[in-house]
Chain A
Amino acid sequence: GAVVSQHPSWVICKSGTSVKIECRSLDFQATTMFWYRQFPKQSLMLMATSNEGSKATYEQGVEKDKFLINHASLTLSTLTVTSAHPEDSSFYICSASSDRDNQPQHFGDGTRLSIL
């Protein structure tokens, strides 16, 4: 149980394009989803927290107009990197958590984004 699917796994695209990453909870309702960015050999950097049906809460220093997050349902959140540039290249990971207070976050397998 508690499976989170993240798609796509790899994206390579030209500078200036927008890229959408999907995160789905397959067998539970995710009232809260988290988006992280991970640089090589570094820990996870929380970008934003989203709750179903409401606006995402962005961490300090994360551009909300650059990284658009939509949490339209209890099983789907999307992250859109708008007008991507090479410095946006990174490993993006989503996680999802149910409404139960002491449950762990369950992670997707991540998306490797490379902007040329």
Chain B
Amino acid sequence: AQSVAQPEDQVNVAEGNPLTVKCTYSVSGNPYLFWYVQYPNRGLQFLLKYITGDNLVKGSYGFEAEFNKSQTSFHLKKPSALVSDSALYFCAVRDEGSGGYQKVTFGTGTKLQVIP
């Protein structure tokens, strides 16, 4: 079984400050990890993924995420937050061995509020 946890329902950060959105996961094999962002009344937009390789993954809009195998975490980060980053962020995981349907498990989402 696979699962993902986003412990914070909401994160508030001042514009220009660094931001972190937390995510931890559980899989039986090697994880495939993803971050998505959702704006109001829209679908999810893909930000970045970790499959293998460097633990620090860079993605769209200046976001990056750090894969930490020992802590089973994949936190999303950005050095300097923008007001336009305010949105709902979802972490997702899939077990490498979960088969051809590629079914992923999504976290409950974290609302990011960037304060001007």
Contacts and interface: CB of A to CB of B under 8 A. Distances in A.
A25 interface: no
Interface stretch (A61-69, A73-81, A82-90, A94-102): A94-102
Nearest to A107: B43
A60 interface: no
Interface residues of A, number: 27
Q: How large is the interface on B (under 10, 10 to 19, 20 to 34, 35 or more residues)?
A: 20 to 34
B45 interface: yes
Contacts of B90: 43-44
29 contacts: A2-B46, A32-B102, A42-B108, A42-B109, A43-B90, A43-B106, A44-B44, A44-B90, A46-B103, A49-B103, A57-B101, A91-B41, A93-B44, A97-B102, A101-B102, A102-B49, A104-B46, A104-B49, A105-B102, A105-B104, A106-B46, A107-B36, A107-B43, A107-B44, A107-B45, A108-B43, A110-B41, A110-B43, A112-B41
Interface of A: 2, 4, 6, 32, 34, 42-44, 46, 49, 51, 57, 91, 93, 95, 97, 101-110, 112
Interface of B: 32, 34, 36, 41-46, 49, 51, 90, 100-104, 106-109
